[in-house]
Structure 1
Amino acid sequence: MRATGLTHQEDTETREPILDTVDRVSELCFGLFMALTFVGAVSAATAGEDAGRKMLYTALGCNLAWGLADAVMFLVRTLTNRGKQLTLARTVKNEPDAAAGARALRKALSKAMKTLVADSELELIRARIVATTTLPHRPRLLLEDYIGAAGVFVIVVLSTFPVALPFVLFKETSTALTVSRVLTLAMLFCSGIALGHHAGFGGWIAGFAMVALGVVLTIAIIALGG
């Protein structure tokens, strides 16, 4: 048995994915919005034979920068959350008063969970933490965290191409703009369906809602000078 009380097989089966559906869809939509606003701004100010390539490079450069920033912040958020969990575990483990340790666990629960978890269940968790023989000295990033950060970076960067690449492939700006918008709306629709299924309600409704939200957000971003 491991220090956590789980076998390797159990630990593998209960381990969460590096990036869940919400993470992936959020980063994809963020990249789409960034590319869409940059393409709109550059297309209005750029003309000439290389206008399409300039738009692609500008949007790609923007999303490379923001993809890097998002990846770094993903690591910062992961390390911060892990440190918070480690602090809680140490508090419970070092607390000689069992009732106080259980209260610390309850305080860490979300508002919705506080009404669902009984004191007896918290006591079982507290006892399991106390029985843990080893705790890390400090929160650390694991290989899977860096993989997750790389995934964030790749998602943001790849989201550039459906928006900006049509301006390279099509000479007519109006055609390229139509294809770019259709691809963007299709990706937003698919993202909404993914979120809808993840949340447990209608995928089609969520898909159309995401398209509507994307249109409103893009208009707002452009209106605010984005």
Structure 2
Amino acid sequence: MSTITPAGHAEPAQRERILNTVDRVCELCFGLFMALTFVGAVKAATAGEDAGYKLFVTALGCNLAWGLADAVMYLVRTLAERGQRLKLALTVQREQDETIAVRALRDALPERLGQLVEDADLARIRARLSAVSTLPPRANLVRGDFVGALGIFLLVVLGTFPVAIPFLVVDDVRAALIASRVLTLAILFIAGFALGRYTGAGAMKAGFAMAVLGILLTMAIIALGG
């Protein structure tokens, strides 16, 4: 697909990202939090020879498992949401009574958005759906969905390394734990900064909020014996 510029030159349309900034930041933070809590939980159990290596392998294994589970659930959610939208479209398309079709469309809208949409607008949408002859009979997953699931898996797994790598390069487990937590907080700040800039909530404010969340989580881990 392409667009025409005022000068008459065709330009390719920008490809929509499969995972937006919120998805990427949330999945990365999920991986960080998972690794942080797991490292804190198993620190005492892996004390002794090769403790740092054991912590790294254990945290990586944990996030490999959770990354796979999260990727699969992403596909399940995607298929369920797509099926729900298709069911609505087919219901509206097949409904002969315009009033019932419009009511079905309105019921599917969020409450605040519904207050801004008139029945006449929904009637036009219903008319367009009625004219569509290419609706699939059932919802299916497409290639982009699997790419998104792979991206989620990689983001969760990558969240392991900032937390766990200090245990590979620092011999003192206590010093490695401090380095791990500091590095994690720094990355959480960067993630919050990106999220705040994307949502317009204030980059610095969101960055500090995410870092504070990490500090509170770390305090909870320590209080629980981590």
Calculate the TM-score normalised by the size of structure 2.
0.89
Cα offsets for 1:103-122 (capped at 9, x unmatched): 11111011121111222221
CA distance in 1, matches of 2:224, 2:109: 38
Q: Name 1:130's counterpart in structure 2.
A: 130
User: CA contact under 8 A between 1:79 and 1:141: conserved in structure 2?
Assistant: yes
Once superposed, which parts of structure 1, at least 4 consecutive aligned residues long, lie more than 3 Å away? 12-16, 217-226
Counterpart for residue 97 of structure 1: 97
Quote the Cα distance in structure 1 between the aligned partners of 2:16 and 2:203: 23
CA RMSD in angstroms, aligned pairs only: 2.1
**Matched residue, 2:181:** 181
Q: Secondary structure at the match of 1:44?
A: coil
Q: CA deviation at 1:214?
A: 2.2
TM-score under structure 1 length normalisation: 0.89
2:67 is the alignment partner of 1:67: yes
**What CA deviation, in whole Å up to 9, does each residue of 1:132-182 have, x standing for no partner?**
012111100000000000000000001101000101111122321222111
- Which residue is equivalent to 1:142? 142
Amino acid at match of 1:88: L
- Structure 2 matches for 1:20-169, cutoff 5 A? 20-169=20-169
CA distance in 2, matches of 1:114, 1:221: 43
Which structure's residues are more often helix, by fraction? 1
Aligned length: 218
**Segment drifting more, 42-51 vs 54-63:** 42-51
Deviates more, 1:88-97 or 1:209-218: 209-218
Tell me the secondary structure at the aligned position of residue 133 of structure 1.
coil
Relative distance call for 1:13 and 1:83 in structure 2 (3 A) is farther
Classify 1:95/1:32 alpha carbon distance in 2 versus 1 (closer, same or farther; 3 Å): same
Which amino acid in 1 is paired with 2:107? Answer: K
Deviates more, 1:143-152 or 1:196-205: 196-205
Superposition map of 1:186-197 within 5 A: 186-197=186-197
Q: Which runs of 5+ in 1 are unaligned?
A: 1-7
Provide closer, same or farther for how the CA distance between residues 221 and 119 of structure 1 changes in structure 2, counting only shifts above 3 A.
Answer: farther
Gaps of 5+ in 2: 4-11
| Structure 2 equivalent of residue 3 of structure 1 | none
* Partner amino acid, structure 1, of 2:147: I
% same residue: 61
Structure-1 residue corresponding to 2:7: none
- Residue identity in the other structure for 1:182: V
